[in-house]
Chain A
């Protein structure tokens, strides 16, 4: 099966460029001869003709030329198809309405064409990965317009979104507006969303750098990357590694394969509650290896989370553990048992785990663990986002930038905010029900057989 990556906006394209770089390195380290096989085929295709160059299954979208332009001048320029680039010149001015309504309409045909061409080159397309930020205009606005297009034109194909949320101290004033407006589209049109927080990424990158200085050596991959590293490369690499770990089992073989449609099936009990908190251990492939117990503890701790949330103190609806490399089934069982006793799971399924194992570890490591949790902790973060939105909206600050865009209606703000509140309420209701426990309404009695 194949997947297509759609990277939108400045942030999306920066993460995307790290992703393609690391993906190529990973495949190179796994198959020395560089033969084109099914695992490579998940994200790459072979260009027919001389040389049979590798081409990424990617669509790059940006409304200003900076980031994409740099990509095309850099090392990876040969990997992208020129028909897969959708660009414009003036940017979105951090305005969701411009990205979604204006550019969404203007470039709809071109986008549709580009994606269709990519999809036709796939034997069996399983999943779209959408990369964008929430706080700006292009990633947030145009990104969600593309999401809607994908839902309309390819309803059977899964849509995984990696969305970078603005932190509390984001320098874009209108980022709460953009985030809430985009959020509604994510709730309605995406199959799974992995929210990421810049503050968390920075924290993790700092920790990696600090321990990197004290550690004796680093892997070849890290060394090579450090040579021409740009700022934010470390942070973006973390997200790129997340995607690689997520798709490892779909690409390589193992005893317990986890395909991408299984992620959605196992982690999304209610259709709108599809926000998954991600954490990885080791934090970066450059760090020294961990023992399984350490890795499990780390990935459930606060510091490895990629989003500002504390899952341990909230309710788990479902949790997936995607393991890579050498680890024994007994170790996994033991760790899961131990964790299961310490974490709070919803009472309708205290054992809501999904465990996957891929035999191929990340480059330079023996073992890695990715945990994806559907946890009510995100309700708290939504609360904060809602507050920041309200503070601006109450004063009607900056609204005219949005309402003066053709095709944008003022009522969209209200419905988006309502959607956010509904989502918060859903999560809160689950927590309340759990807290009430046995004293809540009695469970539906099982069917009785008449004797």
Chain B
């Protein structure tokens, strides 16, 4: 079942490129492994590779070479970034973006959500919908769409929102999950709070699930895990790409390709069955620089314990965790209420773990609402095939209140600007009046309220 990636805006395109690079690296690491392993491993790996390739790439035979074209649609309001990303992909030699998969306008969105939503969106959409249709039809079975965008700017957030709403209308059966990159809380863009609130308010209605990537937390994680004093945008994007790969690569053990369920559908169904609760947090272990990777041999109990503590403390990294924070304390403070979680286990011995092994760590009755049946609180996917050369790796996606905290902060900032009428005329210039603002504020407050009262 294939996933079509929609890369929207500057950040969306850069992150999308990092995501496909992660997949390619993962496939390459599998090739290395196969060279040195026995037959049983080879079969699993072959199945994995085949599923993964078909999920994300359109593979054609072009002469001697097998050409892999990413199932992606690239859209931006100006041409520079899309051109750069396409060129980088082609340079890699083994994959590239499809030739006619991009739509660019001439003029940027000026960090203006209204310009992206009301002006650029409708302008791009006729061309874009054709390209999306072509990508959707190129797959045997469509799992759904992964939309990648940032919330700070105007194109990703405004045009991105418009595109998601249109895609939802045209493909009501397909799953639609968006990966949203939240800007640093200390300003990248003056009006980022407005853009964040407007987008989230619309997308909680249009998408099945929203995966939140916060620049602050990513930066912290990169600094600690990679040991870098200087982290740049490339590192942040690489981390997002890695995390997305960890949850979207196949993970059903030795089952045949046909039996692999939909990745996006699985996430949406298990984590977001309730329309009011759609904000997802992603935590992934381990993550290290290339040189340190060989030495990151963790055992499952250790990894799972860290994941649990990260969930309880609401943290992004496994270092500097507050280990005093236990389940009872967390539940009492009401801060980390968790609706449901989904766990991926990738690596040696994952297949031989038994449910008790992970349930003791991650099934925390104090955190979940009482009315949710036990079996729905935690779902697990696993495969013995390691991910990107990490001997053992795991990822946890939780529908929990941490996302609501981030949204809450943005609403607070946006509201104080709105009360002072700051920047409102810039949005009115493109037709977004105060009433529309108020509607979005109401929707966003509703989302926060839902999580606070889990």
A106 interface residue per 8 A CB criterion: no
Residues of A within 8 A of B108 (CB): 1, 257, 259, 261-262
CA distance A318 to B423 in the complex (A): 11
CA distance A318 to B229 in the complex (A): 28
CA distance A318 to B188 in the complex (A): 12
Q: A262-B111, A266-B190 are in contact. Are A348 and B442 (CB under 8 A)?
A: no
CA distance A83 to B431 in the complex (A): 38
Residues of B within 8 A of A124 (CB): 106-107
A255 interface residue per 8 A CB criterion: yes
Question: Across the interface, do B187 and A348 meet the contact criterion of CB distance under 8 Å?
Answer: no
Question: Across the interface, do A446 and B415 meet the contact criterion of CB distance under 8 Å?
Answer: yes
Question: Across the interface, do A256 and B190 meet the contact criterion of CB distance under 8 Å?
Answer: no
Residues of B within 8 A of A291 (CB): none
Question: Across the interface, do B417 and A349 meet the contact criterion of CB distance under 8 Å?
Answer: yes
Residue of B nearest to A433 (CB): B420
Residue of A nearest to B235 (CB): A329
Question: Across the interface, do B442 and A447 meet the contact criterion of CB distance under 8 Å?
Answer: yes
Q: Which of A296-353 contact B (CB under 8 A)?
A: 317-318, 328-331, 333, 336-337, 340, 346-349, 351-353
Question: Across the interface, do B426 and A348 meet the contact criterion of CB distance under 8 Å?
Answer: no
Q: Which of A107-127 contact B (CB under 8 A)?
A: 123-124, 126
Residue of A nearest to B414 (CB): A349
Residues of A within 8 A of B426 (CB): 264-265, 268
Q: Which of A136-174 contact B (CB under 8 A)?
A: none
Q: Which of B102-123 contact A (CB under 8 A)?
A: 106-112
Question: Across the interface, do B446 and A269 meet the contact criterion of CB distance under 8 Å?
Answer: no
Q: A255-B232, A270-B422 are in contact. Are A449 and B187 (CB under 8 A)?
A: no
Question: Across the interface, do A259 and B186 meet the contact criterion of CB distance under 8 Å?
Answer: no
For A264, A351, A353, the residue with the greatest tally of chain B CB atoms inside 10 Å of its CB is A351
Question: Across the interface, do B419 and A348 meet the contact criterion of CB distance under 8 Å?
Answer: yes
Binary interface encoding of chain B residues 316-338 relative to chain A, with 1 for a CB under 8 A from any of its CBs, else 0: 00000000000000000000000
Residue of B nearest to A336 (CB): B186
Residues of A within 8 A of B233 (CB): 255-256, 329
Question: Across the interface, do B107 and A1 meet the contact criterion of CB distance under 8 Å?
Answer: yes
A223 interface residue per 8 A CB criterion: no
Question: Across the interface, do A351 and B185 meet the contact criterion of CB distance under 8 Å?
Answer: yes
Total contacting residues, chain B, CB less than 8 A: 51
A444 interface residue per 8 A CB criterion: yes
Question: Across the interface, do A270 and B421 meet the contact criterion of CB distance under 8 Å?
Answer: yes
Residue of B nearest to A351 (CB): B187
Nearest Cβ on chain B to A8's Cβ, whole angstroms: 26
CA distance A1 to B412 in the complex (A): 36
Q: A333-B186, A340-B186, A446-B415 are in contact. Are A264 and B420 (CB under 8 A)?
A: no
The residue from A256, A329, A347 contacting B231, defined by CB atoms under 8 A apart? A329
Q: Which of B218-240 contact A (CB under 8 A)?
A: 219, 223, 228-234
Residues of A within 8 A of B449 (CB): 449, 451
For A256, A266, A328, A448, the residue with the greatest tally of chain B CB atoms inside 10 Å of its CB is A266
Residues of B within 8 A of A329 (CB): 219, 230-233
Question: Across the interface, do B107 and A261 meet the contact criterion of CB distance under 8 Å?
Answer: yes
Residues of B within 8 A of A1 (CB): 78, 106-108
A253 interface residue per 8 A CB criterion: yes
Question: Across the interface, do A444 and B415 meet the contact criterion of CB distance under 8 Å?
Answer: yes
Question: Across the interface, do B187 and A352 meet the contact criterion of CB distance under 8 Å?
Answer: yes
Q: Which of B49-80 contact A (CB under 8 A)?
A: 78, 80
Nearest Cβ on chain A to B453's Cβ, whole angstroms: 7
Nearest Cβ on chain A to B344's Cβ, whole angstroms: 30
CA distance A17 to B35 in the complex (A): 66
A383 interface residue per 8 A CB criterion: no
Q: Which of A1-19 contact B (CB under 8 A)?
A: 1
CA distance A126 to B77 in the complex (A): 13
Residues of A within 8 A of B305 (CB): none
Residues of B within 8 A of A212 (CB): none
CA distance A336 to B219 in the complex (A): 15
CA distance A255 to B188 in the complex (A): 12
CA distance A76 to B189 in the complex (A): 38
CA distance A124 to B106 in the complex (A): 7
Residues of A within 8 A of B80 (CB): 253, 257
Q: A266-B111, A447-B441, A447-B445 are in contact. Are A328 and B232 (CB under 8 A)?
A: yes
B293 interface residue per 8 A CB criterion: no
CA distance A82 to B35 in the complex (A): 71
B184 interface residue per 8 A CB criterion: yes
Residues of A within 8 A of B109 (CB): 261
Binary interface encoding of chain A residues 233-269 relative to chain B, with 1 for a CB under 8 A from any of its CBs, else 0: 0000000000000000000010111010110111111
Q: A349-B416, A449-B445 are in contact. Are A330 and B231 (CB under 8 A)?
A: yes
Binary interface encoding of chain B residues 166-203 relative to chain A, with 1 for a CB under 8 A from any of its CBs, else 0: 00000000000000000011111111010000000000
Nearest Cβ on chain A to B7's Cβ, whole angstroms: 16
For B190, B193, B412, B445, the residue with the greatest tally of chain A CB atoms inside 10 Å of its CB is B190
Question: Across the interface, do B232 and A256 meet the contact criterion of CB distance under 8 Å?
Answer: no
Question: Across the interface, do B422 and A348 meet the contact criterion of CB distance under 8 Å?
Answer: yes
Nearest Cβ on chain A to B149's Cβ, whole angstroms: 16
CA distance A340 to B187 in the complex (A): 10
Residues of B within 8 A of A351 (CB): 185-187, 413
B411 interface residue per 8 A CB criterion: yes
CA distance A1 to B438 in the complex (A): 34
B133 interface residue per 8 A CB criterion: no
Instruction: Pull 11 A–B residue pairs with CB atoms less than 8 Å apart, ordered by A.
Output: A256-B188, A261-B112, A328-B230, A330-B232, A333-B186, A347-B416, A348-B417, A348-B422, A349-B190, A353-B190, A447-B441
Other 12 A-B pairs with CB < 8 A, given A329-B233, A351-B186, A354-B190: A255-B232, A257-B80, A259-B108, A265-B423, A269-B423, A333-B184, A349-B190, A354-B111, A355-B187, A446-B415, A447-B438, A447-B445
Q: Which residues of A contact B (CB under 8 A)?
A: 1, 123-124, 126, 253, 255-257, 259, 261-262, 264-271, 317-318, 328-331, 333, 336-337, 340, 346-349, 351-355, 443-444, 446-449, 451
* The 7 residue pairs across chains A and B that have the minimum distance between CB atoms: A261-B110, A353-B187, A269-B422, A444-B419, A124-B106, A351-B187, A348-B420
